[in-house]
Structure 1
Amino acid sequence: MAALAVTQVPVNGGLPDLEGAAVAAAALGDTAPCGPGRFLVMVNGDASPHTATVVTPGTVSGLAVPDATLVVAAGETGVLPLAPLFRGTSGRAAITYDAVTSVTVAVLELGQ
């Protein structure tokens, strides 16, 4: 799994360089830091829809919490908050993809 870096997004104006921040989704999956104000962005440049799955390792009242999925239509961009709920034993969220053809991803964080 590849470790995705965080790109800061200023909240007082300005736009993030999403094209510069986005990298090819790794065939074996990626990991990402999670927490308040952090988001996974998936850009699907393929002709088919693609799904990213973020593992939810914890439980609530002894019950497993379902993994989160982000389905992105062909040619579209999707965003999924990376809540602390997704933090695994490594301290990062584990992300897998149904396919990675023409799929790029980035982790954005709302800054100061």
Structure 2
Amino acid sequence: MIQDIKVLQVKLDATMDEDEQRALAEDVAGKILWLFWCGICAEVDELLPKVVNYICREGIIQGLAEIHRVNPSPDPGDDQMHLQRIMLDAGASTSKYKLWLDNRLDGQVQTGALPP
């Protein structure tokens, strides 16, 4: 995945087309976010049982109640939703750059610049 990010970054640095830059930037950011998300999930999976065991062993049930009271923001902003979408696209192997290339190719075929 890191090699994929490096390849996309090289393409991003070399392109002058703004739409292509935007598609590549989304792919780079999405892959980085997905990589970090996977790392965070792995850490949580490893540490959560230890934390729960500690809280139960030490009798600090109040800590669990306090954690339970913390609510995530019910209405994430547009920026957060955008970042989440590009991260999930990367996790699903959906490339904005590939979609951009396919769309550009379709446009060239439709205008007659390329044969069907």
Q: Give TM-score, length-normalised by structure 2.
A: 0.20
* Higher fraction of helix: 2
With CA pairs under 8 Å and 6+ residues apart, which has the higher RCO, 1 or 2? 1
Choose 1 or 2 for highest CA Rg.
Answer: 2
* Higher fraction of strand: 1
